[in-house]
Amino acid sequence: MNRLGQIVALLERGDAKLADSLALFEEGTRLVSRCSAMLDGAQQQIMKLQKNPGGQLEEAPFEEDVQ
Protein backbone atom coordinates (compact mmCIF):
# COMPACT_ATOMS: atom_id res chain seq x y z
CA MET A 1 0.00 0.00 0.00
CA ASN A 2 2.90 2.31 0.77
CA ARG A 3 4.52 1.58 -2.58
CA LEU A 4 1.17 2.22 -4.25
CA GLY A 5 1.05 5.61 -2.59
CA GLN A 6 4.53 6.37 -3.89
CA ILE A 7 3.61 5.28 -7.40
CA VAL A 8 0.51 7.46 -7.43
CA ALA A 9 2.55 10.41 -6.19
CA LEU A 10 5.21 9.84 -8.87
CA LEU A 11 2.63 9.58 -11.63
CA GLU A 12 0.83 12.65 -10.32
CA ARG A 13 4.04 14.65 -10.59
CA GLY A 14 3.99 13.69 -14.24
CA ASP A 15 7.67 14.34 -14.87
CA ALA A 16 8.66 10.71 -15.32
CA LYS A 17 9.63 9.56 -18.79
CA LEU A 18 6.84 7.84 -20.65
CA ALA A 19 8.58 4.48 -20.49
CA ASP A 20 9.15 4.93 -16.76
CA SER A 21 5.59 6.03 -16.18
CA LEU A 22 4.35 3.01 -18.08
CA ALA A 23 6.51 0.80 -15.88
CA LEU A 24 5.15 2.58 -12.79
CA PHE A 25 1.62 2.19 -14.06
CA GLU A 26 2.16 -1.50 -14.65
CA GLU A 27 3.72 -1.94 -11.23
CA GLY A 28 0.82 -0.06 -9.65
CA THR A 29 -1.77 -2.14 -11.43
CA ARG A 30 0.07 -5.31 -10.45
CA LEU A 31 0.17 -4.17 -6.82
CA VAL A 32 -3.53 -3.34 -6.87
CA SER A 33 -4.39 -6.81 -8.15
CA ARG A 34 -2.03 -8.44 -5.71
CA CYS A 35 -3.45 -6.50 -2.75
CA SER A 36 -7.00 -7.25 -3.88
CA ALA A 37 -6.17 -10.93 -4.25
CA MET A 38 -4.57 -10.93 -0.81
CA LEU A 39 -7.67 -9.31 0.66
CA ASP A 40 -10.04 -11.69 -1.07
CA GLY A 41 -8.13 -14.85 -0.43
CA ALA A 42 -6.87 -14.15 3.06
CA GLN A 43 -7.44 -16.84 5.63
CA GLN A 44 -6.68 -15.49 9.04
CA GLN A 45 -4.16 -17.38 11.04
CA ILE A 46 -5.00 -17.32 14.73
CA MET A 47 -2.25 -18.59 16.99
CA LYS A 48 -1.55 -18.57 20.65
CA LEU A 49 1.64 -18.68 22.58
CA GLN A 50 2.01 -21.68 24.84
CA LYS A 51 4.71 -23.56 26.68
CA ASN A 52 5.77 -26.81 25.03
CA PRO A 53 6.73 -29.83 27.19
CA GLY A 54 10.31 -28.56 27.19
CA GLY A 55 9.16 -25.35 28.83
CA GLN A 56 9.85 -23.31 25.70
CA LEU A 57 7.26 -20.90 24.38
CA GLU A 58 5.86 -21.85 21.01
CA GLU A 59 2.99 -20.87 18.79
CA ALA A 60 0.04 -23.21 18.39
CA PRO A 61 -3.28 -22.74 16.61
CA PHE A 62 -5.75 -21.09 18.93
CA GLU A 63 -9.12 -22.78 19.22
CA GLU A 64 -11.75 -20.66 20.80
CA ASP A 65 -13.72 -22.34 23.54
CA VAL A 66 -17.22 -22.67 22.26
CA GLN A 67 -19.44 -21.69 25.12
Angstrom distance (rounded) from CA 35 to CA 22? 20
Angstrom distance (rounded) from CA 28 to CA 5? 9
Task: Pick between residue 18 and residue 53 the one whose CB is nearest to other proteins.
Answer: 18
The 40-59 site mask, x for binding other proteins (CB under 8 A), equals --xxxxxxxxx------x-x
Task: Pick between residue 41 and residue 53 the one whose CB is nearest to other proteins.
Answer: 41
The 3-42 site mask, x for binding other proteins (CB under 8 A), equals -x--xx--xx-x---x--xx--x--xx--x--xx-xx--x
Angstrom distance (rounded) from CA 65 to CA 67? 6
Length of the chain: 67
